[in-house]
Amino acid sequence: MTAPWSLRALVADLTAGRTTPEAAVAEARARIAAASFDAWVSSAFVPVSVGPLGGVPLGVKDIIDLAGLPTRCGSVLREDSPPATVDAAIVREWRRAGAVPIGKTVTTEFAFFAPGPTDNPAAPGHTPGGSSSGSAAAVVAGHVPLALGSQTAGSVTRPAAFCGVASLVMSRGRFPVDGVTGLSPSLDSHGMFTATVSDLSLAWSALSGEPEAAVSSPPRLLVWSSEDATPAMRTALGSAVAGLRSAGAVVDEFPDPALVPALTAAHPVVMAYEAARERPVELASADRLSAPLAQLLRTGAEMPLAEYEAALDVVASGASRLAEIVAGYDAILAPAALGSAPAGLAATGDPVLSRPWQALGLPVIAVPGLRDEAGLPLGLQLVGRSSEETALLATGRWTETALKR
């Protein structure tokens, strides 16, 4: 497997004239052609654009419209879809930043659980996670230095953790979702993958227009874990906390552990109710869908409004309580997944550790670098405040550096 492609190094080479956008795109295509696994569903020539990332090859998850290519959403229902005529709004923003979309990456069926064909380049024979499986695999394999995902439950954070790359889930609503085939307007968020948190910071600055924040001084963190996490993950988290404290961070225990299960339980209720109403065409053809997606849509269609509204109330009160808890802290530190990538490609793993933060629509970074005894990647996540991605990324860069010591 080719090593992940450093976005920061490529941008430096492009800026200095040591390579060209055309050469970068050609290199990406050569790497994809040489791959032995399926992370891509289609590609097309796209004129090189200019901007802070001018010439950086970009992968686009196949629920996001890319002009000239069909949006098939990993589903038999979209096999004959015509090419999109215009880019999704988020793709237009990435083009403005200079990124060059070179193709569509594999997604699970409508960004839910039914997996695509993608293997995990960092752990062959293990799932790359879902639903942004192709994007995570393409980045860890070095096909592209930047790829787009989306998250409704754990579709960015989990594949990043399983593949050993960095990811950012953006604050919900930070950029419009026009042209994205979503599941739940109250939960759908944009995301991206790079090799490192440092690369995420550079990409976010180019996209948002915000200057990169300097790498932070030792942060103040709240640590939260789950009894369901594997022993290897709990051990890795404990070692990470010890290392971060040794490097100067303040790490305190999350003070209200009952809050997280309440948010975790509310999340799938909101998701099911909204998915049934967001995807009525697919609900009408549920017999042609995978069993998990058909069940989600049918469950949501039959759900009483009162149950949905009660879940929204839990989320609203949880947001208020969390704001009190995190005052004076830079981020929440937690496992990004229950453990390393499960063996096999028939399932994508459990998103449960992302559900509470996704219910709140908060920005989340997956920090790579940890491994279990078998050498499989283990990811940590940092949860920040809404619309404070730049500050969260500064904390993430400090954390990434400290974990390497």
User: For residue 27, which phi and psi values (nearest 5 degrees)?
Assistant: -65, -40
**Active-site residue (options: 6, 49, 61, 225):** 61
Per DSSP, the three-state class of 94 is helix
Residue of 175, 11, 25, 17 lying closest to 102 (CA atoms): 25
Identify whether 43 is a catalytic site residue.
no
**Active-site residue (options: 6, 49, 133, 155):** 155
**Active-site residue (options: 6, 131, 171, 186):** 131
Residue of 182, 162, 163, 161 lying closest to 172 (CA atoms): 182
Write the DSSP assignment of 211-278 as a string of letters.
PPPPPPSSPEEEE---TTS-HHHHHHHHHHHHHHHHTT-EEEE-S-TTHHHHHHHHHHHHHHHHHHHH
The whole-angstrom separation of Cα 369 and Cα 330 is: 21
> Alpha carbon of 33 to those of 66, 100, 119: distances in Å?
21, 18, 16
How many Cβ atoms from other residues are within 10 Å of residue 287's Cβ?
Answer: 6
Contact 179, 65 (CB under 8 A): yes
Identify whether 317 is a catalytic site residue.
no
Sign of CA dihedral 42, 167, 171, 49: negative
Q: Measure CA 52 to chain center.
A: 22
Identify whether 131 is a catalytic site residue.
yes
Per DSSP, the three-state class of 306 is helix
The whole-angstrom separation of Cα 128 and Cα 347 is: 10
The whole-angstrom separation of Cα 178 and Cα 71 is: 13
Query: What are the residue numbers of the active site?
Result: 61, 131, 155
